[in-house]
């Protein structure tokens, strides 16, 4: 395998642990709690602080079949439909049947979801046939879940949390993972974390794209770590672009939750005309990939770069109560969403693919597990159903521990040493400039609309910097860029291979799905 830095584990401080969990979003935190409750000792590393996660930023909600008119079977059919023929049916079954109990468990832990006179206030989002989305404080669902799980983890004596610890590389020998090396950003030192079971819960990769909804930490580190270690990467070409992200000049990109359309908002073109009914029978509630392409086509046909979200026909008091965070953020930039149209545009949002796992989070490397957005068990297929991501983290984060406990019972407890001394001295290049060019390249060549020419040009960009893989990098920001180069190349490579359009992957040179491509692309070093 390859590494980012030269090191010798015999000369570095060592921390021994039973479970090593990388990441502090919903998947990592729930896996940590489940492991602790099973009697395990857990060390959890997080890149920045515990709340620097996609989970904390999630607005819309968490999907679960809890309504009287709903069922896991209906939830399963909606998930399969959105997944465009690539969902693993067993993975979807696990998600929708186990999901309701995981959500009830969150409530028992203290999560406060919005209620109405009938009980839990359930809303509807794109491609859902029922109102099954639970939300908290209107549009701050993720923050509430993050609060409850973070509080529970911090109060658990079996879980040690180390913030500002950046995972550099996994330690793998003989196809067995023995932990990871990480950089303590506060102390400025590299540490060896030797573990019996290592869990990747590092989140997504939205920051590879110029316009995205993700926090600063989402640079695809987990996929890069796993790939360098020899893990299989599946469906990485499928990137979900959220259709409605605030596009105000001078304002940062900000997600306008799909729940806004679920509550009745319309999409309008630059002339003020509603257009989604022409593209899909579900109109504004069509699957996300369809809405994104409809927006882009409408922009091209009308010759206008303007698309708007319209809530002005909805009751102002209801809008402010249901979406307080969105209302406040837009108001900070001089926009009253109850009286004015919201300018929106698509932006990178979620990775459907990732580190290939089975239904218990196991990868092709012994002792290495993955869950949450970094993992790919096939549950989302080619296009994730709205609000299934938080549920995914809970269900499969918990399933990992069930299998890891068995693995630990038969674990040999070996602790081999590792070293790397072949990397060249650091190259004097402008990593900041490389990152900016990477983000632009990904957005323009590997964005929501792709073709062979653009993808080939993207791969040429990555090839230009491939020689850096033989050089050591010394700072976290440079390690991030190296990981982004690795993952961006994987996305472009898989996207060029898949000569069809399906879900979150759209090729203008191959605009239709093809039956022979109803299969997965798996990449391995």
Beta-sheet pairing, 375-376 with 354-356: parallel
Residue where a domain stops, chosen among 294, 317, 345 = 345
Strand partners, 350: 240
Strand partners, 62: 134
With tokens 């005309």, the residue in question is 273
282 and 205 part of one domain: no
CATH number of the structural domain spanning residue 282: 3.90.700.10
Q: Would 370 be classed as within a structural domain?
A: yes
The residue-averaged pLDDT of 16-38 equals 97
277 and 310 part of one domain: yes
Q: Which helix (H) or strand (E) holds 21?
A: strand 14-22
Residue 262 makes CB contacts below 8 A (sequence gap 6+) with: 60, 123, 124, 125, 126, 128, 133, 285
CA 455 to mean position of chain CA atoms: 22
Check residues 305 and 180 and name the one with the higher pLDDT: 180
Residue 3 in tokens: 């590494």
62 and 192 part of one domain: yes
Half-sphere exposure of 403 (CA within 13 A, CB side): 20
Query: What residue numbers bound the domain in which 288 lies?
Result: 244-345
Q: Would 457 be classed as within a structural domain?
A: no
68 and 197 part of one domain: yes
Q: Would 252 be classed as within a structural domain?
A: yes
Q: What is the SS3 assignment for 286? A: coil
Q: Starting at the edge strand that comes first in sequence, how are the strands of the sheet with 522-523 ordered?
A: 375-376, 354-356, 233-234, 522-523
Residue where a domain stops, chosen among 303, 323, 345 = 345
Pick from 209, 165, 172: which is nearest to 194 by CA? Answer: 172
With tokens 């983000």, the residue in question is 439
The residue-averaged pLDDT of 364-375 equals 98
How many structural domains is the chain composed of? 2
Q: Would 510 be classed as within a structural domain?
A: no
289 and 362 part of one domain: no
3-state secondary structure 65-111: CCCCCCCHHHHHHHHHHHCCCCCCHHHHHHHHHHHHHHHHHHHHHCC
223 and 292 part of one domain: no
Pick from 193, 215, 196, 197: which is nearest to 205 by CA? Answer: 215
The residue-averaged pLDDT of 63-92 equals 97
For 393-434, what is each residue's pLDDT tens digit?
999 999 999 899 999 998 877 899 999 999 999 999 999 999
pLDDT the model gives residue 249: 87
Give the CA angle between residues 104, 52, 387 to the nearest 5°.
40
Q: Would 73 be classed as within a structural domain?
A: yes
Residue 303 makes CB contacts below 8 A (sequence gap 6+) with: none
127 and 169 part of one domain: yes
Torsion angle (degrees, nearest 10) of CA 107, 379, 346, 260: -30
**Confidence check: pLDDT of 304 > 90:** no
Residue 151 in tokens: 């509080």
Pick from 19, 27, 26: which is nearest to 44 by CA? Answer: 19
Give the CA angle between residues 110, 111, 112 to the nearest 5°.
110
397 and 251 part of one domain: no
For 505-524, what is each residue's pLDDT tens digit?
999 999 999 999 999 999 99
**Confidence check: pLDDT of 305 > 90:** no
Backbone angles phi, psi at 204, to 5 degrees: -105, -155
Residue 237 makes CB contacts below 8 A (sequence gap 6+) with: 353, 491, 494, 495, 497, 498, 505, 521
Q: Single out the catalytic residue among 288, 399, 478, 507.
A: 288
Radius of gyration (C-alpha) of the chain in whole angstroms = 22
CA 140 to mean position of chain CA atoms: 17
Residue where a domain stops, chosen among 362, 382, 409 = 409
Q: Which helix (H) or strand (E) holds 452?
A: helix 452-464
pLDDT the model gives residue 194: 97
Name the pLDDT band for 303 (thresholds 50, 70, 90). confident
Mean pLDDT of the chain: 96
**Confidence check: pLDDT of 1 > 80:** no
Q: Would 305 be classed as within a structural domain?
A: yes
Q: Would 506 be classed as within a structural domain?
A: no
222 and 170 part of one domain: yes
Q: Would 499 be classed as within a structural domain?
A: no
pLDDT the model gives residue 58: 85
pLDDT the model gives residue 235: 98
Q: How far apart are CA 235 and CA 240, in angstroms?
A: 12
Least confident among 33-37, 113-117, 302-306, 392-396: 302-306
The residue-averaged pLDDT of 173-200 equals 97
The residue-averaged pLDDT of 352-379 equals 98
Name the pLDDT band for 318 (thresholds 50, 70, 90). very high
119 and 263 part of one domain: no
Whether the Cβ atoms of residue 206 and residue 218 lie closer than 8 Å to each other: yes
What whole-number percentage of the chain has pLDDT above 90? Answer: 92
Pick from 125, 129, 145, 149: which is nearest to 137 by CA? Answer: 145
pLDDT the model gives residue 160: 98
pLDDT the model gives residue 57: 85
CA dihedral (161, 413, 168, 361) positive or negative = negative
pTM: 0.96
Pick from 278, 276, 232: which is nearest to 525 by CA? Answer: 232
31 and 114 part of one domain: yes
Catalytic (active site) residue 160: no
**Confidence check: pLDDT of 392 > 80:** yes
Beta strand residue intervals within 163-254, DSSP E: 165-173, 176-184, 189-200, 233-234, 239-246
pLDDT the model gives residue 522: 98
CATH number of the structural domain spanning residue 372: 3.50.50.60
229 and 285 part of one domain: no
pLDDT the model gives residue 218: 97
Q: First CA to last CA across the chain, in angstroms? A: 8
pLDDT the model gives residue 250: 84
Q: How far apart are CA 78 and CA 83, in angstroms?
A: 9
Least confident among 169-183, 298-312, 360-374: 298-312
With tokens 């001089």, the residue in question is 334
For 226-257, what is each residue's pLDDT tens digit?
999 999 999 999 999 999 999 998 888 889 99
Residue 289 in tokens: 């990939």
Measuring CA to CA, how many Å separate 62 from each of 146, 374, 398, 443? 12, 18, 16, 28
């Amino acid at each position: 395998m390859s590494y980012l830095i030269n090191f010798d584990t015999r000369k570095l401080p060592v921390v021994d642990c039973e479970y090593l969990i990388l990441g502090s979003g919903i998947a990592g935190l729930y896996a940590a709690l489940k492991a602790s409750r099973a009697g395990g000792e857990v060390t959890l590393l997080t890149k920045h602080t515990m709340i620097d996660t996609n989970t904390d930023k999630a607005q819309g909600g968490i999907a679960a079949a809890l309504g009287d008119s709903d069922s896991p079977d209906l939830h399963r059919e909606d998930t399969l439909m959105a997944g465009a023929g690539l969902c693993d049916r067993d993975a979807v079954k696990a998600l929708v049947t186990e999901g309701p109990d995981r959500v009830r468990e969150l409530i028992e832990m203290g999560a406060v979801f919005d209620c109405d006179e009938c009980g839990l206030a359930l809303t509807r989002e794109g491609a859902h046939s029922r109102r099954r989305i639970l939300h908290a404080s209107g549009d701050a669902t993720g923050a509430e879940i993050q609060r409850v799980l973070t509080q529970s983890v911090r109060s658990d004596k079996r879980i040690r949390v180390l913030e500002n610890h950046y995972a550099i590389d996994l330690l793998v020998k003989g196809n067995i993972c023995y932990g990871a090396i990480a950089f303590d950003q506060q102390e400025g030192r590299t540490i060896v974390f030797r573990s019996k079971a290592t869990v990747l819960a590092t989140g997504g990769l939205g920051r590879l794209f110029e316009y995205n909804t993700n926090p600063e930490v989402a640079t695809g580190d987990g996929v890069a770590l796993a790939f360098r270690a020899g893990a299989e990467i599946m469906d990485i070409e499928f990137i979900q672009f959220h259709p409605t992200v605030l596009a105000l000049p001078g304002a940062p990109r900000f997600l306008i939750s799909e729940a806004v359309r679920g509550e009745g908002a319309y999409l309008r073109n630059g002339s003020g005309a509603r257009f989604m009914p022409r593209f899909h029978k579900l109109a504004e509630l069509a699957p996300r990939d369809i809405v994104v392409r409809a927006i882009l086509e409408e922009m091209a046909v009308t010759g206008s770069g303007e698309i708007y979200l319209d809530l002005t026909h909805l009751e102002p008091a209801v809008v402010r109560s249901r979406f307080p965070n969105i209302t406040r953020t837009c108001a900070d930039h001089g926009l009253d969403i109850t009286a004015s149209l919201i300018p929106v545009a698509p932006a990178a949002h979620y990775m459907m693919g990732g580190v290939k796992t089975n239904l218990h989070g196991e990868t092709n490397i012994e002792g290495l597990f993955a869950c949450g957005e970094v993992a790919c068990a096939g549950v989302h297929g080619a296009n994730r159903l709205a609000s299934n991501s938080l549920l995914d983290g809970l269900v499969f984060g918990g399933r990992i521990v069930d299998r890891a406990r068995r693995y630990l019972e038969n674990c040999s407890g070996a602790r081999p040493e590792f070293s790397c001394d072949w990397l060249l001295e650091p190259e004097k290049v402008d990593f900041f400039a490389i990152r900016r060019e990477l983000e632009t390249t990904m957005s323009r060549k590997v964005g929501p609309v792709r073709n062979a020419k653009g993808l080939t040009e993207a791969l040429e960009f990555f090839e230009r910097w491939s020689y850096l893989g033989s050089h050591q990098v010394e700072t976290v920001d440079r390690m991030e860029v190296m990981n982004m180069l690795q993952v961006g190349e994987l996305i472009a490579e898989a996207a060029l291979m898949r000569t069809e359009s399906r879900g979150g992957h759209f090729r203008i040179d191959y605009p239709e799905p093809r039956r022979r491509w109803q299969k997965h692309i798996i990449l391995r070093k």
